[in-house]
Structure 1
Amino acid sequence: MPDDLLRHVIGPTPYSSWWLWLAIALTVVLIVFYLGVFVATSPRRRLRTVPVVGAARDRVIRYRAARAVRAIGDRYRAGDLDAEPAGEAVDRELRRFLRQVSGVRAEYMQIDDVANSEIAAAAPLLANLVDVRFNAASGLDVGVVSHDAEELIRSWA
């Protein structure tokens, strides 16, 4: 075999550097994905201690709850809901909000228990909602009570 043909034989073709950058990018995406899953599935109390995530989570919960209460009040004012179902819906949304924000199981608590807990600021409003729901002769307006609930939600610290 003549030596002049050896100049046409070369070694393996080198890999492109794009493969390295693609592997690095996919690794970073995988790490971010697992961190997202960890944050999304972590217990709520621990999530509240993360500075940016906890503040954003509380803001989103506050916004959703206030929007739901406002929608219930608007439906009552429009005549789509009677006083008792509207009061029950506002009570349910308010208690759900209190549980999500404070961790106190407000859905299962009596008014006296609420008054003696860390969510005591909501006890008078919950008492008004109980009056609206169970007292047919109540003089309270559900529209006003729903507005008060919305203000409590927006100002909750």
Structure 2
Amino acid sequence: MPDDLLRFVGGPSPYWTGWLWLGLALLVFVIAWYAAVFVWTLPSDQLRRLPAVRDIHARLLRRRFAAAVRRTVARHRDGELTAAQAAAAMSRTLRSFLGQATGVRAQYLHLDAIGAGDLAPAAPVLAALDDAQFNNASAVHVDEVGAEAEELIRSWP
């Protein structure tokens, strides 16, 4: 009976079976690639709702925005930015981080509204950054407030 079956299907395959496995592996790779690109390009509010991705997304956000604050402080130390420019850049970075991390549009909120809401832990740092940005006689040191902003970003829940 097996000889009849082999004659019916044309005999043993002349192709190497590794091609089948290679083809299946490439198919799995392409599907995984498309899934990764799809997840990578989702908006932050949708990423915060996905249980499997939420923690990774939060970790990447904290690392990316903390590095941006660190670069701004370094540029101020190197003399590329004035204290007001560095404070403005760090304030934008911190507000953008809060918007990405929480969904609250912190870029458009007044400091009082930030202090009264869920973003209250960020209010003192933002107040210091505003003072450094808009007060020429400010006693705020950009290095210190930069370290505070970076720590706030790294420890954000």
Q: State whether TM-score is above 0.5.
A: yes
Size of the alignment, in residue pairs? 147
2:7: which partner in 1? none
1:97: which partner in 2? 97
- Amino acid corresponding to residue 62 of structure 2 in structure 1: R
**Structure 1: tracts of 5 or more residues without a match:** 1-10
**Residue range with higher mean Cα deviation, 58-67 or 84-93:** 58-67
1:154: which partner in 2? 154
Partner Cα distance (1:20, 1:77) in 2: 59
Aligned ranges 1:55-134 → 2 under 5 Å: 55-134=55-134
Partner Cα distance (2:49, 2:138) in 1: 42
2:5: which partner in 1? none
**Structure 2: tracts of 5 or more residues without a match:** 1-9
Instruction: Give per-residue Cα distances to partners, 1:66-99, cap 9 Å, x unaligned.
Output: 1221222233234332111111111111111111
Distance apart, 1:116 and its partner CA:
2.7
Matched, 1:145 2:145: yes
Partner Cα distance (2:140, 2:120) in 1: 21
Distance apart, 1:56 and its partner CA:
1.8
Partner Cα distance (1:67, 1:122) in 2: 17
CA-based RMSD of the aligned residues comes to 2.0
- Amino acid corresponding to residue 55 of structure 2 in structure 1: A
2:31: which partner in 1? 31
Aligned-residue sequence identity (percent) comes to: 46
Instruction: Give per-residue Cα distances to partners, 1:104-137, cap 9 Å, x unaligned.
Output: 1111111122123321211121111111111112
Partner Cα distance (1:75, 1:33) in 2: 37
1:14: which partner in 2? 13
